Each structure stands twice: as C-alpha cells, then as structure tokens.
Structure 1
C-alpha cells in the first residue's frame, strides 16, 4: 500500500501519526497530488489504526476513506486488529465499518484475535455490534475464535460464554476438543451443554493419548462414540495406552472396547 508515495512521505506519515499531529497529516494530504491522495489516505488510515490515533482515524473517514466490503488481507484491517484497542474498534464502528466484511489469512478476524489474546472487552464489543461468531475464522493456523479463546495467550471461558450468548452454534468447531485436550473442564462442560458435536470424534484420539482422565470420563458419560478410529485405523484404546494413564485405559475398556 502506498509504495508510489516515496520514502520521505512514508517517513513523515510514520512520524506524524506516531505523535498524533493531525494538522501535519492534513497539510501533507492537501499538498499531495490529487491522483495520489487516495493511496496516501489509505496509508495514513492504516498507520493511524495501528497506533490507535483516534482523531486521525475520524479525519480519514471524513475525507472519504472506506475499506471495500469483502476485503481479504487488507492492511488497514490488519493494523486495526493488531492494535488490540477497544477505542479503535469503537471509532471504526462509529464510522460505519462492517465487522463481518473483512478477513485475513494472517490474523483471521477481529474476534479470533481478541479471543486469542483473551481480550474480553473487545470480544464483547464486537459481538454486541454485530460480528457473527458463526462467520469468524482463524488465520494461517486456522485458530478459530472458540479454540483461540482456550489455546491462546490468555484463556478465557468468558469469551466462549459471550459467543454462545450471541448465537454461536459451534458448528464444526473444535473448541470442545481443545477444552478436553487442555483439561479445561469448565469450558468443556459449557460447550457440551450448549450443543458441542460429540460426533466430532477426532478429539478422542488426542484426549486419550494425553491421558486426560477427567475429560475422557465426562465425554463417556455424555455418550461420545468410543469406536472412533483415526485415518490410520488406530483406536481410542490404542491412544489411551500410548498416553500411559492406566485409569484412562480401564475407562475405555469398560466403555466397550476390547484389548488389542
């Protein structure tokens, strides 16, 4: 973005957005060739979003800056996500940004990243202002928000609860599998009680393999299928033996699997 603007312009934008000097930014924009102004405005917007400079953000929108609906890997959206600033999202929503209209192969979307960092206030704001938890998806590692809320920097069951309150159907989410693998019984029980798909059985292999007694016992009690085999034909009993927890092995045997 803005590669034709020149090094001097890039450096000035960086300096002036860092210091929040709106007047300098306006002067720069006004003195720039009109054909380059849209590119400059987009560059300013991205830098202002990343640095949480709200006054400059309001100004770029007043000058006609918009992010095209359905954008993928847009630099402005990246910077807004990276800022992890509730104030930035409030400013963007106030200026008409469609929260469901943008995604990134790097960060996924705003909700996924907020979940990864355990930022409850941002997640709540996004959900309350229309971001659909069923349309959210992860970035390069497919860490969708349900899983991100459990396996991210700051695990948060509260974010899972907020998503459920705002219509999250779980779909083919692996969040309950992540909860079981991590031994997070509070999250596992919440997700199962709100409709997690126990036929999404691939998690059994991991939970048994890691010797997670309590999650395995809970899932057995909920009627999860013990006859699942992975793509290599390995059973849950095999995984339990690999996990080395004899209690888990006995639980699986008692559920109906014969020794192998």
Structure 2
C-alpha cells in the first residue's frame, strides 16, 4: 500500500492537495481507495475518468455490454475504434491514458449473486451507473449486506437524479427505502427507447464521482436525500429521504442493530 507520493505525483495532484479539506492525507486516502463502478455507459464513463484523474488508486469496472455506435454521443470513455469491444475493457484503456497510477480490474460479465456480493465487499464505495431496476435492486441488496456506501445515479431525456446511501450508518436509508422493489425493467424508462441529451449524463456522472471522492477521501459531508436536475429549466431540487422501518431490504438489519 502506497504511503508516500513521488515528486511527479505531488505535482499531478497539487491542485487537490492544496485544498485544506483534502490536503496530503486525504489525497493519500484516495490513492489507497477502491471504487467499484457498475455500468460503463453514459454515467460510468465520466465517473470513471474523473475518479482516475483525481487519484483513486483502484477501480473495478464492471459491464457486460459492448460499445455501439449509438453510445458515442454520450459515453465519453469510448471512441470510434472501440466499437464492438467490451465497454469495461474500453474504459480501462482510456483510464490508462489518463493516469497510469490507477489500477483497473475489468469484469466483462454481468455481476450477480455471489460474484456481485464479493465485488461489492472488496470496494470502499460502489457507483451504480446502470439503467435497469433489476440491477439497481441487486446492487442495493449487496451494499446493504456488506455495509458499503452506494452512490446511485440516473439520467433520461433532460432529467437526472442522484442519491447517496452511506450504509455504514445505522440510520441511513437504502435505495429500496426510496423506490421499493416493485419496479420491473419493462416499466423503467431507458435512454435506448426514450433518448437522453449528451451533457446530462456528464453532469450526473461527475456528481457521482464527486460524492465517491468525498466518501473515500473523508472530505466534507456526503450528499443526503435525493437530488433531481431538470436540464430544460436548469433547476436542481433536493428531497429528504428517511429510512423506511418496513423496508423489504434493510429493515431487519436495523432492527437487529437496535437489539444489540
């Protein structure tokens, strides 16, 4: 585990190290940190690139899809020469051109069951950059089970949203407290069928990267509640989210914690 920076690294990260909230110690925590990004499309592309540039030491990149021409309008980790190649591998190659100090692990199959639980348990923070309810529900359950912070993002048309669930805290809600587990993939709006404006995914993906950086670097206060963005009006809204005592995912865990 790295304990000091080289002169080159000090210069590279100097604009962050000079921030009193982060400083040398916080930058070192980033270098020692590990983020799991599930989905390397519109949200995962900017999130992964910004985390790598900021100095996260290890990124696990999970995506079972391949790059398509229609992705290039918004998925900035990929280029024309990456068409028909796995998105996770394409993102890893792009990261290597940005910061060779960032170690990447590529997972080119859909994470599920024990493999998902293991990958989540190994990370300091999980970024859910998927676009299906089934994936989001499974990721949330794995994060609750392992008490791993979850940064969830979504974007469609001109609208985006972000929520952070710091599941290390006993009083924290989980994704299911907000949305339940009744939605199906057929019910969900997806950009493949409904469209999405290109910069919107950059806004939300960068927001996810910022919150992951804060959690790993122990900087400031993690975002609380649900933030929604109306790109057509240029307006943000913030809604409070409380833990649901009857949540189908996390209620039993909190009841057990209270009884200890």
TM-score of the aligned structures, taking structure 1 as reference length: 0.25
- Which has more radius of gyration? 1
Q: Which has the higher strand share?
A: 2
Q: Which has the higher helix share?
A: 1
